[in-house]
Amino acid sequence: MRVLLAEDNDAIRDLMQEMIGKRSHTVDAVVNGLEALKAVQAKVYDVVVMDMHMPVMDGCEATHLIRALDGPHSKIPIVALTAGLTESQRATYVAAGVDQIVAKPAHWPTLFKAIETRGQTAPDEAVQAGNAPPPPVAALNDAALNDLGSVIGEASLARLLDSFRDGLNEDGEKLEAAVQAEDLKAARRTGHRLKGTCRQFGALELAEIGAAIEAATGLDDVARRMAEITPARTRLAAALAARAQSALQDAPG
C-alpha cells in the first residue's frame, strides 16, 4: 500500500514512517495539512494517516478540503490521529470526513489495522485500544521501547531516540521563549507536543509534565512545571542508559 503520513512532530513522524514501512508499505510524509492536500492531488494513495493538530493547516481543515475535491481524490480513506478524544472533538473530525479515529500515542496493532483496512475498522475498537490507561508514571516505560526495538531493531531505535532527544531540546527552547514572551497559548501548544512525543517513546514522567503545561491556566503554572523538566530528563537519561546497557549484555555473541 502507498500511505501518506501527515505529522509535524519530527520524532513521531520518523518513528511512524519506520514502523509503517516495516509492514512493507510505501510511506510518503508531509508536515502539515496544506502539504497533505497538495500531495493527494499529485499522487495516488491508498490511505492518509492525518494528525489532527498541525501548523499552517490542521488535519481537520485538510480533511474537509480533501473531501471537497473533484473526482477520486475526494474519496481517499483518511485515518485521524489525535490525543483529543472528547465526544465533541470526535464529532468534529467525523463531520470533516475522517473514516476512522485512532488515539495517540499510537497503539501499533490498532494503527496498522486501520491503515490496512483503509479506515474500516470498527471506530470503538480503534479508540479503546489506542486510548488504554497509561502505566504508572515512571521515567521510562521499558516495555514501550522494547516493543519498538523488536520491530525496527535496536540500531534504528537508537537513531530515533537521538531525534527524540533533539525534539526535547527544541521544546525546552520553545517553552522558555513562550514564557519570556508571556505567550500562554504557545506554551500550552508546546506542552501538547511534549506530551505526545514523550508518550509515544515511553517517557512517562516527561509526558505528565507536558500534559500539565498543556492544561496550565497561567504562565506561573508553566514556569513551575518547566522547572521539573531538567531533573526528569536526567532520570530519563539514566533509564535509557541502563536499558542500552541491558540490551548490550543481552545481545548474542
pLDDT tens-place string over residues 108-144:
999 999 999 998 876 544 444 444 444 446 899 988 8
Q: How many domains, in total, are found in the chain?
A: 2
Same domain for 121 and 170?
no
Helix (H) or strand (E) holding 50: strand 47-51
Range of the domain at 185: 142-250
Of 90, 108, 130, the residue that ends a domain is 130
Q: Is the predicted pLDDT of residue 168 greater than 50, yes or no? A: yes
98 and 6 in a common domain? yes
Q: Output the pLDDT for position 138.
A: 83
Which amino acid is it at 40? V
Give a yes or no: residue 18 inside a domain.
yes
Q: DSSP letter string over 160-181? A: HHHHHHHHHHHHHHHHHHHHHT
The model's confidence at residue 245, banded by pLDDT at 50, 70 and 90, is confident
Using 50, 70 and 90 to split pLDDT, how confident is the model at 7? Answer: very high
Cell triple for residue 181? 514572551
What span, in angstroms and rounded, lies between the C-alpha atoms of 230 and 219? 18
Q: Is residue 78 within 8 Å of residue 4, measured between CB atoms?
A: no
Instruction: Dump pLDDT digits (tens) for 175-213.
Output: 999 999 999 999 999 999 999 999 999 999 999 999 999
* 86 and 112 share one domain: yes
Q: Are residues 26 and 118 in the same domain?
A: yes
Residue 90 shares a structural domain with residue 207: no
Backbone angles phi, psi at 224, to 5 degrees: -65, -45
Q: Confirm if 194 and 210 have CB atoms less than 8 A apart.
A: yes
* 147, three cell numbers: 516493543
Q: Are residues 177 and 112 in the same domain?
A: no
Which residues of 151-229 form beta strands (DSSP E)?
none
Q: Are 165 and 140 in contact (CB under 8 A)?
A: no
Domain end residue (candidates: 71, 100, 130): 130
Q: Do 98 and 175 share a domain, yes or no?
A: no
> 111 and 42 share a domain?
yes
Burial of 231 (0-12, 13-18, 19+ CB in 10 A): exposed
Instruction: Let me know whether 37 and 109 are in one domain.
Output: yes
How far is residue 132's CA from residue 24's CA, in Å, rounded to a whole number? 27
In whole angstroms, what is the distance from residue 184 CA to residue 68 CA?
35
Quick one: which of 90, 102, 104 has its CA closest to 195?
Answer: 104
Closest CA to 43 of 16, 3, 93: 3
Q: 219: which 3 cell numbers?
A: 504562565
Q: How confident is the model at residue 62 (pLDDT cuts 50, 70, 90)?
A: very high
Q: Of 100, 130, 160, which residue constitutes the final position of a domain?
A: 130
Quick one: pLDDT at residue 212? Answer: 96
Mean pLDDT confidence for 31-48 = 97
Question: 215 and 101 in one domain?
Answer: no
Query: What pLDDT was estimated at residue 233?
Result: 96
